[in-house]
Amino acid sequence: MGDTLIPQHIGFIMDGNGRWAKKRLMPRNFGHNQGAAVFKKTINWCRELGVKCATFYAFSTENWKRPPDEVKGIMDLLRRYIKDIRESAKEDIRIIILGDISAFDEDIRVELTDIMETSKDNTGFIVGIALNYGGRAEICRAAKILSERCVSGEISSADITEDMLEQLLYTAEMPPLDLVIRPSGEQRLSNFLIWQAAYAEFVFMDVLWPDFTKKDLEYAINEYAGRSRRFGGI
Ligand code: FPP
């Protein structure tokens, strides 16, 4: 596989945790637990395969609608993994949180803000974690910032460009999104990186996220490479 055929930035929709647990007659949080372990492994696989950046959909703006038990389970998982995420930051990994974390408990908020800050000069790999994230909310937030700049007279609305808006998205300092992988058989974006995915390739897979392996990642990257080859020529 030539380097140019490796996607620089992959988005992962970690779907199917609940079904994976149900198949085992276990509570849904058992699936999220396993899903979080796969999240960690996937970061390493991406690095080994030469990918530069991976963004994971961990909690959407819609996920608050889940039963309180399940939300609490995911939050506890996040607390546990924060320690791991901190360890990753030591391996030259930059952590970028996408989403409005003001809704989270203070301990989580403080930790995440600190991890983002202390890892910001790392260049080996970028891990994006989407938490209380929604693509529409992200674009709306950027629009508000631009409108405030218009009101203050800093810019004129006629001068607003796509590039200016893009600079206000959580992904501003990430490479362009090349590939979105969604396991579990669902074939939709579910409000994940909707602006950024405008030119991305999509690979939908039947495997449930907790069963996702390095082989599955390689399969998706191969698919991506094949499509790029077809569309790359004149
Ligand atoms: C979707 O599967 C998954 C989620 C809503 C949560 C994903 C969260 C994790 C894997 C934990 C992440 C933790 C860290 C530390 C980043 P689903 O529950 O919708 O599955 P289903 O469609 O089978 O019900």
| pLDDT bracket for residue 2 (50, 70, 90) | very low
Cβ of 17 closer than 6 Å to ligand 1, yes or no, is: yes
For 197-225, letters b (16+ CB in 10 Å) and e give beebbbbbbebbbbbbeeebbeebbebbb
Taking the centre of ligand 1 as the mean of its atom positions, its distance from the CA of residue 15, in whole angstroms, is 6
Cβ of 15 closer than 6 Å to ligand 1, yes or no, is: yes
pLDDT tens figures, 67-122:
999 999 999 999 988 888 787 767 899 999 999 999 999 999 999 999 999 999 99
22's CB contacts (< 8 A; 6+ apart) are 28, 31
pLDDT tens figures, 13-29:
999 999 999 999 999 99
Total Cβ atoms within 10 A of residue 195: 16
Taking the centre of ligand 1 as the mean of its atom positions, its distance from the CA of residue 3, in whole angstroms, is 31
From 12, 14, 78, give the residue whose CB has the most ligand 1 atoms within 8 Å, as the site to mutate. Answer: 14
Say what the pLDDT of residue 176 is: 97
pLDDT tens figures, 123-150:
999 999 999 999 999 999 999 999 999 9
- State how far the Cα of 10 lies from the Cα of 67, in Å rounded to an integer: 30
From 13, 15, 83, give the residue whose CB has the most ligand 1 atoms within 8 Å, as the site to mutate. Answer: 15
Q: What number is the average pLDDT over the span 212-231?
A: 88
Say what the pLDDT of residue 90 is: 78
Cβ of 111 closer than 6 Å to ligand 1, yes or no, is: no
Question: Is 228's pLDDT higher than 70?
Answer: no
Question: pTM higher than 0.85, yes or no?
Answer: yes
